[in-house]
């Protein structure tokens, strides 16, 4: 016997609609800026008082197949690390894992150990969402030559800007 919408029940219809709508939330919006896989993004305040307070310079890189890396190089050592080395550290870290991971290493490139967090990301409307160890997922809003990392807080969001660093 064939079931109709009346036979299936309103709860199952509502559940099905929620599943479809949730799936659509992870589709990138038309006209949204796209992630730049070339180079990386450097936090505003690297090599300055924000880095001294946090104890590290922070970098973000997008990898193919929706992978994202965050690199934390200890400050003040980080002030002497050039952009090409930062990019090589990201490549070396990504080569060490095929899944989400926290890696702490010198990667045969640095004099001090750095931490790299590698995570999968998806889309939530026009934002990129990923797990960042905060109260809930972090999101990224992309702009022309920059990104804004939005970390949830207890009272309000923390928004940190990163500038794109293109390599020759």
pLDDT in tens, the chain (168 residues): 555 545 555 544 444 434 433 443 444 444 456 788 899 999 999 999 999 999 999 999 999 999 999 999 999 999 999 999 999 999 999 999 999 999 999 999 999 999 999 999 999 999 999 998 767 899 999 999 999 999 988 888 899 999 999 987
Structure tokens at 75: 């400050």
What is the C-alpha to C-alpha distance for residues 161 and 146, in angstroms, rounded to an integer? 7
Domain parsing of the chain, residue ranges: 29-165
pTM of the model: 0.79
- Residue the block writes with tokens 């990667």: 107
């Amino acid at each position: 016997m064939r079931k109709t919408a009346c036979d299936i029940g309103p709860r199952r219809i509502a559940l099905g609609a929620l599943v479809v709508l949730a799936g659509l939330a992870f589709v990138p919006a038309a006209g949204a800026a796209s992630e730049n896989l070339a180079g990386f993004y450097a936090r505003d305040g690297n090599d300055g008082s924000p880095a001294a307070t946090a104890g590290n310079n922070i970098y973000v890189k997008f990898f193919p197949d929706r992978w994202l890396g965050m690199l934390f190089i200890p400050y003040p050592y980080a002030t002497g690390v050039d952009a090409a080395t930062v990019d090589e550290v990201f490549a070396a870290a990504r080569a060490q894992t095929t899944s989400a991971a926290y890696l702490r290493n010198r990667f045969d490139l640095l004099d001090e150990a750095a931490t790299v967090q590698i995570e999968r990301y998806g889309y939530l409307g026009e934002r990129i969402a990923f797990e960042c160890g905060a109260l809930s997922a972090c999101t990224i809003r992309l702009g022309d030559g920059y990104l804004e990392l939005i970390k949830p807080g207890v009272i309000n969001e923390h928004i940190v800007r990163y500038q794109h660093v293109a390599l020759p």
